[in-house]
Amino acid sequence: MKRGAMLLALALCAAASAQDTRQPGSAFMSAPLQALQRDATQHPGQLFVAEGEALWSRPAANGRRCADCHAAPMPVAMRYPVHDPTTGRPLSLPARVDQCRQQHLAQPPQGPDGPAVLALTALLTERSRGQPVTPDPRLQAWALRGEQLWQQRFGQLNLSCAQCHDQRAGQRLGGAAIPQAHPTGYPIYRLEWQGAGSLQRRLRGCLTGVRAQPFAPDADEWLALEAWLMQRAAGMAWEGMALRP
């Protein structure tokens, strides 16, 4: 790691440990929902983890498996998105999984919320449980753009992400607690969805919630926001496959 990147990483860790008042989304849930997230035998998101385990070892049509290259699922979810030297852009974990499926398993692309991509990212996020969030320091420029988007007002309601998740975290909106919006367990299983979803899906839901037009599926804005959110959560513990209301 270059000196500048190392200094940035150390600064982020120091900021995370000094008077840290940050909390994961699970801290804003009711006690029964917190218990449900902890109980792997009852947590519905564990069905996606189990499917990911099956896919990991199941041969694709070309006879190849994830396990042929990677003996075991790796704890990597807490460090994505990462800088992709080929494109010079951030690469999210769902995009990495989809890329591997296409290049090595000859599978068609699915996008971040495709069934196989969701299952495999659920497996990897569960294997990352307890690890500290470690944002890629090479994405600093993208994170700065994401911070600008975080502060920008959107939609007919003219609201920014920061107005809800920084200024009013812990208050209630429509009967539900407003979390601080730290991405420490994606993909998540959301009871409102009755299924699992990516961070991009959650961000898209926020935009539609303020009556704004979501960005295009491949827009840079999603990557910038993901880079900023991971920097904002630097040093926090990864929750594994998370549950949300």
Domain spans of the chain, in order of start: 47-244
pTM: 0.90
Question: Per residue of the chain (245 residues), what is the pLDDT tens digit?
Answer: 455 554 455 555 555 455 899 999 999 999 999 999 999 999 999 999 999 999 999 999 999 999 999 989 999 999 999 999 999 999 999 999 999 999 999 999 999 999 999 999 999 999 999 999 999 999 999 999 999 999 999 999 999 999 999 999 999 988 889 999 999 999 999 999 999 999 999 999 999 999 999 999 999 999 999 999 999 999 999 999 999 99
- State the architecture of 47-244 in CATH terms: Orthogonal Bundle (1.10)
3-state secondary structure the chain: CCHHHHHHHHHHHHHHHCCCCCCCHHHHCCHHHHHHHHCCCCCCCHHHHHHHHHHHHCCCCCCCCHHHHCCCCCCCHHHCCEEECCCCEEECHHHHHHHHHHHHHCCCCCCCCCHHHHHHHHHHHHHCCCCECCCCHHHHHHHHHHHHHHHCCECCCCECHHHHHCCCCCCEECCEECCCCCCCCCCEEECCCCEEECHHHHHHHHHHHCCCCCCCCCCHHHHHHHHHHHHHCCCCECCCCCEEC
